[in-house]
Amino acid sequence: MLNILVTEGLICQLVSWPFAITSCSWQQWMPAVAGLFTALGLRVKGIGRLVTFVVGLAVFYLFTIPPVIMMPSPGSSNPSGWFLFGCLFLFPIASIISLSGLLGGDLFRIFRKRARENASS
């Protein structure tokens, strides 16, 4: 069994990799949670898949970018270049998070539809 602290540290480093952090806190988890629940909520409401995916990505970046802009970057000669590189690196992570929310919403809608059909039979 994996140690939960090791697992949390690895996931935290993956989510906040391009940006310098000293410890894992809620600021590193917030973009992932916000993107996941936004995509999940939109899909449960019946919004289209493409819109759900794009809005989930946008919310992920909306919660990722402001803390990084506010964070001082000591000793960095070209912070905007690294920032752009970091955001491009986060695209697969943001895509996976948004897609998992979308698929979770699809599963919820499928099970809810089946429950209604079984209840009416």
Q: What is the pLDDT of residues 86-114, one digit of tens each?
A: 677 788 888 999 999 999 999 999 999 99
For the chain, what are the domain ranges? 4-120
* Helical axes 79-120 vs 4-15, angle rounded to 10°: 120
Neighbours of 80 (CB within 10 A): 8
For residue 102, the surrounding DSSP H or E stretch is helix 79-120
Q: What is the pLDDT of residues 4-45, one digit of tens each?
A: 555 556 566 666 655 555 556 666 678 888 999 999 999 999
Which of 65, 71, 68, 36 is CA-nearest to residue 53? 36
